[in-house]
């Protein structure tokens, strides 16, 4: 711990299932002070709940345990701390498992865990009121439990549901000795944490401008060098693939974002104050971030078992695609006894076909049918077998993309809130002693500023929006966000006036026509952020969209033909 220099926090995981070798790559690739990993997407909590229901000793990300076993000895030898939210629904169980690994390896490691986020036994304070028995109910805790554990000498800290950025904020607050009222510094660390939380998405992964990625190897995982004032440099280890540029960092800053005021449990970070600068090859400086007091409530993620679902896809080829699709749908539900016998039916005709196609594959379209119901018998083999029964009596060229499939359970995600007074964040140290973590001071939630209108920039030309703009999209529960950025001030001046809620709805087509859309301006990033409420229904696990996490939504928006001022081309 050397407070007069930045703390080097390296990410080794962006989700449960990310590159297993990343922990070793980050430990061996160059100097770092802290190895962190994010494993808890909203969907992951449902996955872990299913695992815990089968075995109460589970409920944590098992792949993290494998990574710890691989690097623990090296980390202890070099003084590298390990911090992760892989504890999921059972951080105590994961901490015990890590201690067992250390004992088996003959290592002496101090392992602490943070708890208090799991509200399944205390639902009364949650708003809106919970009238069911969710399989997971977790408050988003902040960074001070992590900082407390590190300050008490922990080598490894595992948590349950903390905010993703807390995995960087906690180590930075410990390293630099910040107080709970150092809001600007804390906000800067939140921004750095938001950039590296999704691993290689900050180093060229999922980046809109593919031609800028000249090193096409798998991108290295990111590192945040967080200084005492909260400013940071985003970089990666030398010799690794990918790219760290103002563009790749901007893209990740816009990922899964809502308004410019980024509400967290420790601080409200104001994303409209962020300044980015290319400091050198694969080095981007983040500075100027302002912070204010956090709200007096904590975000809560609830997951319920929503019922059972099944999907089957019929392939339609050649001529009369729409007529064949209507005939197939009519036949299928006639065999099944009508659509009304299911709680929900979703039928989508996905057109890939083209006239006079040069190959058989290019002449095909898909009719994707999804059914949901509380009764698994209705949507299991009874559904998928009925579709296969049409094989010899259906439309010409009938075939499916898969054999009959069984039903599967799906979850329903609900966002909620809880007063801080109803949640007690606790650090459980290696020796079993417990420390209650104090809350920071709180304040009002700032209102977003209105988006300014665009100046008239002369004649226009019809081109894809992506000719002049990058974009990144993602899911926030049932909502989708699309962050769109321009290359310069002139492009942003046009973009912020052009991309209104009505234009977003129009460009996204029928599925967004009746949805509420917000558009927020982020001038320092030359960007705007659109939030499309309800596009994903009841969340990723329940959504029937072919792209349930809206990963491709931004690229679809970029492909749309719009009128762009010729001066920007």
- pLDDT one-digit tens code per residue, 417-468: 999 999 999 999 999 999 999 999 999 988 877 766 656 568 999 999 999 9
Residue 445 placed within a domain: no
**Length of the chain counted residue by residue:** 569
91, 141 Cβ separation under 8 angstroms = no
Q: What pLDDT sits at residue 129? A: 96
Domain boundary among 435, 469, 500: 435
User: Is the Cα dihedral 506, 507, 511, 514 positive or negative?
Assistant: negative
28, 73 Cβ separation under 8 angstroms = no
DSSP string computed for 422-441: G---EEE-TTS-EEEPPPPP
Assess whether 297 and 312 both reside in one domain: no
Q: What pLDDT sits at residue 447? A: 80
277, 203 Cβ separation under 8 angstroms = no
Structure tokens at 401: 């993309």
Q: What are the phi and psi torsion angles at 204 (to 5°)? A: 110, -10
Assess whether 277 and 389 both reside in one domain: no
CA 31 to chain centre: 28
Q: Which residues of the chain are modeled with pLDDT < 70?
A: 1-3, 451-457
Residue 447 placed within a domain: no
Whether a cis peptide bond, with omega within 30° of 0, leads into 128 is yes
DSSP 360: S
SS3 content of the chain, % helix, strand, coil (to 5): 30, 30, 40
Assess whether 75 and 197 both reside in one domain: yes
Assess whether 482 and 552 both reside in one domain: yes
Residue 62 placed within a domain: yes
Structure tokens at 435: 């420390």
Q: How far apart are CA 389 and CA 401, in angstroms?
A: 15
- Residue 105 structural domain: 7-301+416-435
Q: What pLDDT sits at residue 446? A: 80
Residue 370 placed within a domain: yes
Q: How far apart are CA 272 and CA 262, in angstroms?
A: 10
Assess whether 72 and 43 both reside in one domain: yes
For residue 139, what are the contacts with CB-CB under 8 A and spacing of at least 6?
Answer: 116, 117, 119, 161, 298, 299, 300, 418, 423
Burial class for 14, CB neighbours closer than 10 Å (0-12, 13-18, 19+) = buried
User: Is the Cα dihedral 125, 126, 128, 133 positive or negative?
Assistant: negative
Q: What pLDDT sits at residue 3? A: 60
Residue 256 placed within a domain: yes
3-state class (DSSP) for residue 445: coil
Rounded to a whole number of angstroms, the CA Rg of the chain reads 25
Q: What is the CATH number of the domain that holds 316?
A: 3.30.70.360
Q: How far apart are CA 331 and CA 559, in angstroms?
A: 36
Q: Spell 354-372 as b/e; 16+ CB within 10 A means b.
A: eeeeeeeeebbbbbbbbbb
Assess whether 248 and 160 both reside in one domain: yes
Residue 455 placed within a domain: no
Q: What pLDDT sits at residue 208? A: 97
Q: What pLDDT sits at residue 310? A: 98
Query: What is the number of structural domains in the chain?
Result: 3
Q: Within 13 Å, how many C-alpha atoms sit on residue 165's CB side?
A: 27
Assess whether 515 and 395 both reside in one domain: no
- Residue 406 sits at the vertex; the CA angle it makes with 405 and 412, to the nearest 5 degrees, is 115
Q: How far apart are CA 73 and CA 109, in angstroms?
A: 9
For residue 128, what are the contacts with CB-CB under 8 A and spacing of at least 6?
Answer: 416
Whole-structure pTM value: 0.95
For residue 403, what are the contacts with CB-CB under 8 A and spacing of at least 6?
Answer: 388
Assess whether 146 and 103 both reside in one domain: yes
Residue 515 placed within a domain: yes
Assess whether 404 and 420 both reside in one domain: no
CA 190 to chain centre: 15
Q: What pLDDT sits at residue 2? A: 63
Assess whether 51 and 116 both reside in one domain: yes
Assess whether 178 and 135 both reside in one domain: yes
Assess whether 421 and 466 both reside in one domain: no
Q: Give the residue ranges of DSSP H helices in 83-224.
A: 91-105, 144-151, 166-176, 183-196
Q: What pLDDT sits at residue 125? A: 96
Q: Which of 522, 554, 549 is nearest to 537 (CA)?
A: 549
Residue 33 placed within a domain: yes
For residue 540, what are the contacts with CB-CB under 8 A and spacing of at least 6?
Answer: 41, 42, 43, 413, 475, 548, 549
């Amino acid at each position: 711990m050397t407070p007069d220099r930045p703390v080097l926090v390296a990410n080794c995981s962006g989700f449960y299932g990310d590159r297993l070798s990343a922990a070793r790559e980050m430990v061996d690739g160059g100097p770092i002070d802290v190895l962190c990993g994010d494993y808890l997407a909203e969907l992951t909590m449902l996955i872990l709940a299913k695992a815990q229901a089968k075995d109460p000793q589970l409920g944590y990300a098992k792949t993290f345990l494998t990574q710890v076993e691989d690097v623990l000895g090296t980390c202890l030898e070099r003084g590298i701390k390990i911090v992760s939210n892989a504890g999921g629904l059972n951080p105590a169980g994961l901490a015990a498992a890590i201690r067992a690994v250390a004992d088996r390896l003959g290592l002496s490691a101090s392992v602490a865990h943070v708890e208090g986020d799991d509200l399944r036994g205390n639902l009364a304070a949650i708003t809106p009121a919970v009238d069911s028995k969710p399989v997971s109910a977790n408050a988003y805790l902040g960074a001070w439990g992590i900082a407390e554990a590190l300050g008490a000498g922990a080598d490894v800290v595992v948590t349950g549901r903390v905010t993703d950025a807390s995995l960087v904020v906690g180590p930075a607050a410990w390293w630099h000795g910040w107080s709970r009222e150092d809001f600007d510094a804390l906000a800067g660390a939140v921004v750095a944490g938001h950039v590296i939380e999704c691993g290689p998405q900050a180093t060229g992964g999922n980046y809109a401008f593919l031609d800028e990625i000249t090193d096409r190897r798998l991108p290295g995982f990111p590192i945040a060098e967080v200084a005492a004032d909260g400013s940071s440099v985003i970089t990666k280890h030398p010799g690794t693939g990918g790219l760290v540029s103002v563009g790749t960092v901007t893209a990740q800053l816009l990922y899964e974002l809502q308004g410019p005021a980024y509400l967290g449990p420790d601080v409200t970070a104001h994303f409209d104050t962020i300044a980015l600068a290319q400091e050198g090859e694969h080095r981007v400086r983040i500075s100027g971030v302002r912070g204010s007091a956090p709200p007096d409530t904590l975000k809560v993620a609830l997951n319920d078992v929503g019922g059972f679902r099944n999907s089957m896809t019929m392939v339609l080829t050649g001529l009369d695609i729409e007529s064949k699709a209507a005939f197939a749908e009519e036949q299928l539900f006639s065999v099944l006894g009508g659509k009304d016998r299911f709680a929900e039916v979703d039928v989508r005709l996905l057109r890939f076909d083209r006239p006079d196609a040069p190959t058989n594959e290019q002449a095909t379209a898909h009719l994707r049918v999804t059914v949901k119901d509380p009764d698994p018998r209705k949507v299991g083999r009874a559904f998928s077998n009925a579709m296969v029964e049409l094989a010899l009596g259906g439309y010409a060229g009938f075939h499916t993309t898969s054999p009959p499939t069984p039903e599967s359970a799906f979850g329903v995600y609900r966002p909620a809130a809880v007063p801080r007074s109803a949640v007690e964040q606790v650090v459980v140290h290696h020796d079993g002693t417990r420390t209650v973590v104090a809350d920071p001071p709180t304040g009002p939630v700032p209102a977003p500023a209105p988006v300014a209108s665009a100046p008239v920039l002369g004649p226009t030309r019809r081109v894809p929006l992506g000719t002049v703009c990058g974009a990144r999209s993602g899911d926030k529960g049932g909502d989708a966000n699309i962050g769109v950025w321009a290359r310069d001030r002139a492009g942003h001046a046009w973009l912020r006036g052009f991309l209104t809620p009505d234009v977003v709805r129009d460009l996204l087509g029928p599925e967004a026509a009746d949805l509420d859309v917000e558009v927020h301006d982020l001038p320092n990033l030359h960007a705007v952020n659109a939030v499309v409420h309800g596009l994903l229904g009841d969340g990723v696990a329940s959504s029937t969209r072919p792209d349930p996490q809206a990963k491709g939504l931004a690229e679809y928006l970029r492909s749309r033909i719009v009128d762009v001022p010729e001066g920007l081309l």
